[in-house]
């Protein structure tokens, strides 16, 4: 009974802390603005126009219909999608994601297009120096991808899929601001003196604070996700969940639907939120300094944004690509390195959740050990 | 019940805050006197188990101060402590009741009882950040008594209280001390004159005097100064 009350009060501390409320409100507003502004940058394709092509195979005939929008000059193809061709914009995006603009697209045929895609995939696989087992893994997957691609309207889920990177950054930011004081604040406020000499002030309180922190981050993560899902579903609708992933990521070899990929991303996003929370709270116990934890995590955020490890550092790059924001970024689709474990191969999407869960458990245990040894005024 | 400190020592970098102190506390009020920096707060933290001595032990009837059982019978009022700005006084006491392991029913009953005892009825629903220093101190006293502690350790409990509150507090402590071990630190000698059964005098981390209050004579202040001077 007392433990339940403690949990409720720990939640109250987190949910009613002014700084947390302000940070959450600010993050929700910013992500909604980002969502709305991203729609204005795109070529506007109305749902009605897009539906005219719904169910069409991306084949030679459809490519021919696109050609009046193309011009090949000075080694570059330019595409001009005017009002008459509005509905072709999403098809053009799929094609140019594979071909780029350097080749003469006015000469493109169906055979060419799918051959170019195969060629691009082989080049990437060679460049990334995949093992024979990895190659075999990917070619088996690729064989399951239906070809030719069939276009269906999918703007809503496709845009949601692309916004997970931003969600990942925001949730790290919110964790840094909201949870850095979970264990550190009481040292700064001299409250530890009261808590640490109370019956449940050590082990039980540590675990309850941890549980409350994870609850808070889950609620915040759901809020943030809804702040993306709701505007996109209002603007574009949610049709297209059952369509092939290649309509959004043409160079992916995963035989998944957009909806399945969205499910994977949501799972990874929620686990990443738990991971960020666990690490933030661990740092909070270790440093007993809220400001140091916040600054440290903001520093990591910058590193995450700007540091890329070159392909020649294979193992290091593999580890770096398992970080949440990399898994939820496009690199998840364009890096084909796999994780070898117990004689099996795993995708980043499969390995990352297990690693995140393990880190959460380790953080819990290490933090518990540290908290139980905490002293006042030493 | 006995609280036994056996040759406890605590050193901070170049300063020995508590130097090989040994004593036994029994039922009744023990006053701990000493100037600022004498080591009173460090000693109290060691007795509460929130600071670990470099050497020596503290135990209560064979129980180590690091155990949950010991914490269950302990009440502690630190010299200064923070508060949660989003909590009301009542919330704070209910939260502390939970941390001290009280059931919801007992927590509600004790909280109500103690709010009345320390005269915070009108302010119980207000946020603690709006409290004056004296009100916060009374809230601190209330939280220390939530679990009906058998051992009560109070560091400068009268700081911030007005003269009337001080008298009320002394009466309260005299009552509590009849059945419990109470250790009360202060540098205001008059606080102890009428309620202490025993006296401990500290200077520079050392225990200069440990004995019956009556041995100090009528004027405690004169006695305290004479003990300090004797050691100089």
Question: How far, rounded to the nearest angstrom, does the alpha carbon of residue A290 sit from its chain's CA centroid?
Answer: 27
Contacts of B107 in chain A (CB under 8 A): 2, 5
| Distance from C-alpha of B211 to C-alpha of A139, rounded to nearest angstrom | 87
- The rounded distance, in Å, linking the Cα atoms of A85 and B152 is 83
Q: Report CB contact under 8 Å: A5, B147.
A: no
| Cβ separation B74–A188 shorter than 8 A | no
Same domain, B88 and B140: yes
State the residue range of the domain holding B146: 80-180
Two structure tokens written together for B4: 């036994």
Residues A198 and A238 in one domain: yes
Q: Of A5, A12, A190, which is closest to B86 when you measure between CB atoms?
A: A12
Residues A57-104 pLDDT 10s: 999 899 988 888 888 888 888 888 777 777 788 888 888 888 888 888
Same domain, A192 and A91: no
Are both B97 and B28 inside the same structural domain?
A: no
% of residues, chain A, pLDDT over 70: 96
Q: Based on the fold, state whether residues A161 and A117 are members of the same structural domain.
A: no
Mean pLDDT value across residues A316-331: 83
Our CA-based measurement puts residue B16 at a distance from the nearest CA of chain A, in whole angstroms, of 12
Model pLDDT, residue A1: 66
Predicted pLDDT of residue A43: 57
Whether residues B224 and B208 fall in one domain: yes
Question: Contact B80/A190, CB-based, under 8 Å?
Answer: yes
- Averaged pLDDT, B218-222: 83
What percent of chain B stands above pLDDT 70? 99
Same domain, B176 and B84: yes
Q: Is residue A204 part of a domain?
A: yes
Tens of pLDDT, residue by residue over B44-87, are 999 999 999 999 999 999 899 999 999 999 999 998 888 888 89
Cβ–Cβ below 8 Å for A199 and B52? no
**Is the same domain home to A289 and A321?**
yes
Cα-trace Rg, chain B: 18
Confidence of residue A42 (pLDDT cuts 50, 70, 90): low
**Distance between A232 CA and the closest CA of chain B, angstroms:** 36
In angstroms, the Cα distances linking A14 to A5, A272, B122 are 14, 19, 27
What is the nearest CA distance from B228 to chain A, expressed in angstroms? 27
Q: Residue B168's pLDDT is what? A: 85
Domain count, chain A: 2
CB-based contact B100 A197, cutoff 8 Å: no
B225 in the same domain as B137 = no
Whether residues B95 and B24 fall in one domain:
no
Question: Could you tell me if A108 and A239 lie in one domain?
Answer: no
Starting at the earlier edge strand, list the strands of the sheet with B198-203: B74-77, B151-155, B181-186, B28-33, B198-203, B206-212
Sign of torsion over alpha carbons A274, A280, A286, A290: negative
Mean pLDDT within A232-252: 90
**Looking at residue B187, what is its pLDDT?**
78
* pLDDT of residue B226 exceeding 60: yes
Does A6 contact B99 at a Cβ distance shorter than 8 Å? Answer: yes
Model confidence at A176, pLDDT cuts 50, 70, 90, reads: very high
* Contact yes or no for B97 and A196 at CB 8 A: no
Report whether A16 contacts A58 (CB < 8 A): no
For chain B, the domain total comes to: 2
The answer to whether residue A113 is domain-embedded is yes
Whether A222 maps to a domain, the answer reads yes
Q: What is the pLDDT of residue A302?
A: 94
Task: Check CB contact of A194 with chain B, cutoff 8 Å.
Answer: yes
CA B223 to chain A, closest CA, distance in angstroms equals 31
Contacts of B143 in chain A (CB under 8 A): 194
B1, part of any domain:
no
Q: What is the pLDDT of residues A251-289, one digit of tens each?
A: 899 999 999 999 999 999 999 999 999 999 999 999 999
The first and second tokens of residue B70, run together, are: 């010991």
- The mean pLDDT of A131-138, rounded to a whole number, is 92
The answer, yes or no, to whether ipTM is higher than 0.90 is yes
Q: Which residues of B touch A212 (CB under 8 A)?
A: none
The answer on A271 and A202 residing in a single domain is yes
In a shared domain, residues A88 and A173? no
Q: How sure is the predictor about A330, in pLDDT bands with cuts at 50, 70 and 90?
A: low
**A188 & A228 share domain:** yes
Whether B48 sits inside 8 A of A197 (CB atoms) is yes
Q: Is there a contact between A193 and B87 if contact means CB atoms under 8 Å apart? A: no
Chain A's closest residue to B92, CA to CA, is A9
Rounded Cα distance, A328 and A321, in Å: 10
User: Largest alpha-carbon pair distance within chain A?
Assistant: 79
**Which is nearest to A229 in space by CA: A266, A198, A282?**
A266
Asked whether residue A46 is assigned to any structural domain, the reply reads no
CA B171 to chain A, closest CA, distance in angstroms equals: 24
pLDDT score for A332: 56
Q: For B167-188, what is each residue's pLDDT tens digit? A: 888 888 888 888 899 999 987 8
Chain B residues whose CB is inside 8 A of the A187 CB are none
Joined together, the tokens standing for residue B105 give: 């029913």
Q: Could you tell me if A342 and A313 lie in one domain?
A: yes
* A184 vs B contacts (CB less than 8 Å): none
Same domain (yes/no): B22, B92: no
Would B191 be classed as within a structural domain?
Answer: no
Q: Is residue A139 part of a domain?
A: no
The answer on A124 and A272 residing in a single domain is no
> A185 or A318, which is more confident?
A185
Which of A86, A114, A129 finishes a domain? A129
pLDDT at A40: 61
**How close does chain B come to A319, measured CA to CA in Å?**
40
**What CATH number should be reported for the domain holding residue B99?**
3.40.50.300
Instruction: Check residue A9 and give its pLDDT.
Output: 95
Using CA coordinates, name the residue in chain B closest to A203: B68
Q: Is B95 on the interface with A (CB under 8 A)?
A: yes
Does B3 map to a domain? no
Asked if the C-beta of A20 comes within 8 angstroms of chain B's C-beta atoms, the answer is no
Q: At B3, is the pLDDT very low, low, confident or very high (cuts 50, 70, 90)?
A: very high
Does the distance separating the beta carbons of A199 and B99 come in below 8 Å?
Answer: yes
- Residue B151 has phi, psi (to 5 degrees) of -125, 125
Q: What is the mean pLDDT of chain B?
A: 91
Write out the residue range of the structural domain in which residue A199 sits: 2-41+154-372
Q: Which two tokens stand for residue A56?
A: 């069409």
Max Cα distance, chain B (Å) = 54
Q: Of A225-234, B135-144, B218-227, where does mean pLDDT reach its minimum?
A: B218-227
Tell me, yes or no, whether A182 and A263 share the same domain.
yes
In whole angstroms, give the CA distance from residue B164 to residue B171: 11
Q: Tell whether the model's pLDDT for residue A316 goes beyond 60.
A: yes
Q: Which site among B41, B60, B73, B82 would you substitute to test the A interface, given the most A Cβ atoms closer than 10 Å to its Cβ?
A: B82
Q: Is the pLDDT reported for residue A130 higher than 90?
A: no
- The answer to whether the Cβ–Cβ distance between B76 and A197 falls below 8 Å is yes
Residue A96 belongs to some domain of the structure: yes
Residue B221 to chain A, least CA–CA distance (Å) = 30
A281: buried, middle or exposed (CB in 10 Å: 19+, 13-18, 0-12)? buried
**pLDDT the model gives residue A208:** 97
Confidence of residue B228 (pLDDT cuts 50, 70, 90): confident
pLDDT on residue A197: 95
pLDDT of residue A378: 61
Same domain for B62 and B88?
no
pTM equals 0.90
Residue A49 placed within a domain? no
Yes or no, beta carbons of B82 and A190 under 8 Å apart: yes
A101 lies in the same domain as A176: no
B117 and B89 belong to one structural domain? yes
For residue A82, with 0-12 CB atoms within 10 Å meaning exposed, 13-18 middle and 19 or more buried, which class applies?
Answer: exposed
Same domain, B131 and B171: yes
Q: Answer yes or no: do B66 and B92 share one domain.
A: no
* Gap from B138 CA to chain A (nearest CA, Å): 15
Average of per-residue pLDDT values in chain A? 90
Within 8 A by CB and 6+ apart from A88, the residues are A53, A65, A66, A69, A81
Q: Give CA–CA dist B67/B48, Å, rounded.
A: 11
- Give the separation between CA A167 and CA A221, rounded to whole angstroms: 8
Q: How confident is the model at residue A45 (pLDDT cuts 50, 70, 90)?
A: low
Residue A198 is nearest to which of B80, B91, B100, comparing CB atoms?
B100
| Structure token digits, residue B64 | 């180590």
Nearest CA in chain A to B72: A199
* pLDDT score recorded for residue A281: 98
Q: Which of A129, A145, A163 is the last residue of a domain?
A: A129
A198 closest CB neighbour out of B12, B41, B71: B71
The residue that leads in pLDDT, A331 or B6, is B6
């Amino acid at each position: 009974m007392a433990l339940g009350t403690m949990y409720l009060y720990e939640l109250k501390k987190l949910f009613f802390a002014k700084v947390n409320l302000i940070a959450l409100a600010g993050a929700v507003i910013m992500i909604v603005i980002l969502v709305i502004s991203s729609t204005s940058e795109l070529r506007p394709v109305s749902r009605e126009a897009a539906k005219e092509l719904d169910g069409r195979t991306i084949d030679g005939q459809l490519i021919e219909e696109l050609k009046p929008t193309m011009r090949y000059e000075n080694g570059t193809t330019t595409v001009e999608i005017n009002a008459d061709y509005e509905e072709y914009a999403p098809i053009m995006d799929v094609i140019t994601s594979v071909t780029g603009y350097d080749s003469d697209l006015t000469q493109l045929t169906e055979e060419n297009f799918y051959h170019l895609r195969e060629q691009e995939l082989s080049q990437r696989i060679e460049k990334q120096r995949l093992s024979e087992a990895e190659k075999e893994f990917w070619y088996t997957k690729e064989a399951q991808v239906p070809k030719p691609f069939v276009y269906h309207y999918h703007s809503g889920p496709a845009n949601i899929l692309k916004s997970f990177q931003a969600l990942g950054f925001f949730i790290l930011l919110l964790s840094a601001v909201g949870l850095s004081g979970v264990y550190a604040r009481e040292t700064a406020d001299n409250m530890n003196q009261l808590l640490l000499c109370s019956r449940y002030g050590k082990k039980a309180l540590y675990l309850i604070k941890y549980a409350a922190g994870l609850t808070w981050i889950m609620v915040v993560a759901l809020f943030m996700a809804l702040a993306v899902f709701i505007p996109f579903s209002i603007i574009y609708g949610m049709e297209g969940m059952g369509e092939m992933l290649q309509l959004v990521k043409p160079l992916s070899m995963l035989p998944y639907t957009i909806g399945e990929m969205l499910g994977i991303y949501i799972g990874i996003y929620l686990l990443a939120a738990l991971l960020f929370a666990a690490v933030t709270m661990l740092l909070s116990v270790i440093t007993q300094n809220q400001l140091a934890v916040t600054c440290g995590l903001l520093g990591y955020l910058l590193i995450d944004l700007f540091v890329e490890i070159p392909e020649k550092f294979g193992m290091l790059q593999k580890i770096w690509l398992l970080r949440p924001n990399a898994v939820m970024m496009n690199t998840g689709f364009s890096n084909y390195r796999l994780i070898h474990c117990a004689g099996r191969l795993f995708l980043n999407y499969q390995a990352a959740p297990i690693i995140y869960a393990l880190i959460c458990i380790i953080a819990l245990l290490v933090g518990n050990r540290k908290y139980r040894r905490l002293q006042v005024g030493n | 019940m006995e609280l036994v400190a056996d040759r406890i020592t605590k050193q901070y970098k170049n300063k020995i805050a508590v130097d090989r102190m040994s004593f036994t506390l029994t039922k009744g009020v023990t006053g701990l006197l000493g100037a600022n920096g004498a080591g009173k707060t460090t000693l109290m933290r060691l007795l509460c188990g929130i600071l670990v001595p470099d050497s020596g032990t503290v135990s209560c009837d064979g129980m180590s101060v690091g155990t949950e059982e010991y914490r269950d019978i302990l009440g502690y009022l630190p010299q200064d402590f923070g508060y949660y700005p989003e909590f009301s006084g009542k919330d704070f006491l209910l939260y502390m009741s939970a941390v001290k392991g009280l059931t919801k029913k007992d927590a509600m009953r004790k909280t109500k009882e103690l709010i009345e005892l320390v005269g915070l009825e009108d302010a119980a629903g207000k946020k603690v950040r709006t409290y004056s220093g004296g009100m916060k101190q009374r809230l601190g006293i209330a939280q220390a008594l939530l679990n009906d502690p058998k051992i009560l350790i109070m560091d400068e409990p009268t700081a911030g209280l007005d003269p009337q509150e001080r008298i009320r507090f002394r009466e309260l402590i005299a009552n509590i001390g009849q059945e419990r071990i109470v250790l009360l630190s202060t540098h205001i000698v008059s606080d102890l004159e009428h309620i202490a059964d025993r006296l401990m005098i500290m200077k520079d981390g050392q225990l200069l005097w440990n004995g019956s209050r009556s041995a100090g004579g009528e004027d405690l202040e004169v006695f305290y100064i004479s003990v300090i001077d004797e050691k100089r």
